[in-house]
Structure 1
Amino acid sequence: MKAVVYEKYGAPDVLELREIEKPVPQDNEILVKVYATTVTAGDWRMRKADPFLVRIVNGIFKPSRTKILGFELAGVVEEAGKDVKTFKRGDSVFAFCGFKFGAYAEYKCLPIDQRLALKPSNMTFEEAAAVPIGALTALQFLKSAGVKKGNQVLIYGASGSVGTFAIQIARYYGATVTAVCSTANVDLVKSLGADQVIDYTKEDFTKLDSKFDIVFDAVGKTSKSACKNLLKPDAKYISVTGQPKANPDDMQVLKEMIEAGKLKAVIDRKYTLGQIREAHTYVESFRKKGNVVVSVSERSSALTA
Structure 2
Amino acid sequence: MRAVVQQRYGPPSVLRTTEVDLPLPGPGDVLVKVGAASVHPGDYFVMSGRPYVLRLVFGLRRPRHGIPGRDFAGVVAAVGKHVTAVRPGDEVFGWSTAGTLAEYACVPADHVAPVPVGTSLVEAAAVPTSALTALQAMRDVAKVRPGQTVLITGASGGVGSFAVQIAKAFGAEVTGVCSTRNVDLVRSLGADHVVDYTRTDFTRAESRYDVILDNVEAQPLAAVRRALTPAGTLIPNSGRGGRWLGPLARIVRARVLSGFTRQHLKPFASVEKPRDLLTLADLLTTGQVTPVIDRIYPLDEAADALRYVEAGHTRGKVVVTI
TM-score, structure 2 length as denominator?
A: 0.87
Asked if 1:113 is matched to 2:139, the reply is no
Pick closer, same or farther for the CA change 1:245–1:126 going to 2, 3 Å.
closer
* 1:237 and 2:263 correspond: no
Please give the residue correspondences for 1:76-155 in structure 2 after superposition, counting only pairs within 5 Å.
76-97=75-96, 100-114=97-111, 116-144=112-140, 145-155=142-152
Equivalent residues of 2:132, 2:270 under 8 A apart: no
Q: Which has the higher helix share?
A: 2
Point out where structure 1 has 5 or more consecutive residues left out of the alignment.
297-305
Q: Determine the C-alpha separation between the residues in 2 that align with 1:237 and 1:129.
A: 29
Q: 2:176 aligns with which of 175, 179, 182?
A: 179
Q: Distance in 2 between matches of 1:71 and 1:189?
A: 26
CA distance in 2, matches of 1:219, 1:139: 18
Larger mean Cα displacement after TM superposition, 211-220 or 285-294 = 211-220
Residue 223 of structure 2 aligns to a residue whose secondary structure is coil
TM-superposed deviation, 1:220? 4.8
1:249 aligned to 2:275?
yes
* Alignment check: 8 A CA contact 1:224 1:237 kept: no
**Correspondence 1:60-71 to 2 at 5 A:** 60-63=60-63, 65-71=64-70
Q: In the alignment, what sits opposite 1:264?
A: 290
Q: Tell me if 1:166 matches 2:192.
A: no
Q: Deviations over 1:45-103 (max 9, x none)?
A: 1111111112222333322x121111100001111111111111111001022xx2410
The amino acid that maps onto 2:32 is V
Q: Secondary structure of 2:84's partner?
A: coil
Shift in Å at residue 203 of structure 1? Answer: 1.2
- Structure 2: any 5+ residue segments left out of the alignment? 239-267
Instruction: Give the distance between the partners of 2:213 and 2:121, measured in 1 at CA.
Output: 29
For this pair of structures, how many residues does the alignment match?
A: 292
The Cα of 1:240 is off from its aligned counterpart by: 2.0
Structure 1 residues 248 and 12, CA gap change in structure 2 (3 angstroms): closer
Q: Distance in 2 between matches of 1:93 and 1:157?
A: 29
Distance in 2 separating the partners of 1:223 and 1:249 = 35
Q: Is the contact made by 1:182 and 1:200 (CA closer than 8 Å) also made in structure 2?
A: yes
Deviation at 1:233, TM superposition (A): 3.1
Whether the aligned pair in 1 keeps the contact of 2:4 and 2:67 (CA below 8 Å) is: yes
Shift of 1:223: 5.0
Which residue number corresponds to residue 72 of structure 2? 73
Separation (CA, whole Å) in 2 of partners of 1:69 and 1:9: 11
The 10-residue stretch of structure 1 (21-30 or 47-56) with the greater mean CA deviation from structure 2: 47-56
Q: Which residue of 1 aligns with 2:311?
A: 285
Deviations 1:133-157 (A, max 9, x none): 1110000010121111111000011
C-alpha separation in 1, matches of 2:108 and 2:271? 20
* Contact map agreement 2:157 2:313 (CA 8 A) in 1: no
Distance 2:213 2:204 in 1: 16
Structure 2 Cα separation of the partners of residues 141 and 282 of structure 1 = 25
Q: Structure 1 CA distance, aligned partners of 2:207 and 2:228? A: 9
Specify whether residues 94 and 245 from structure 1 end up closer, same or farther in structure 2 by C-alpha distance, changes over 3 A only: closer
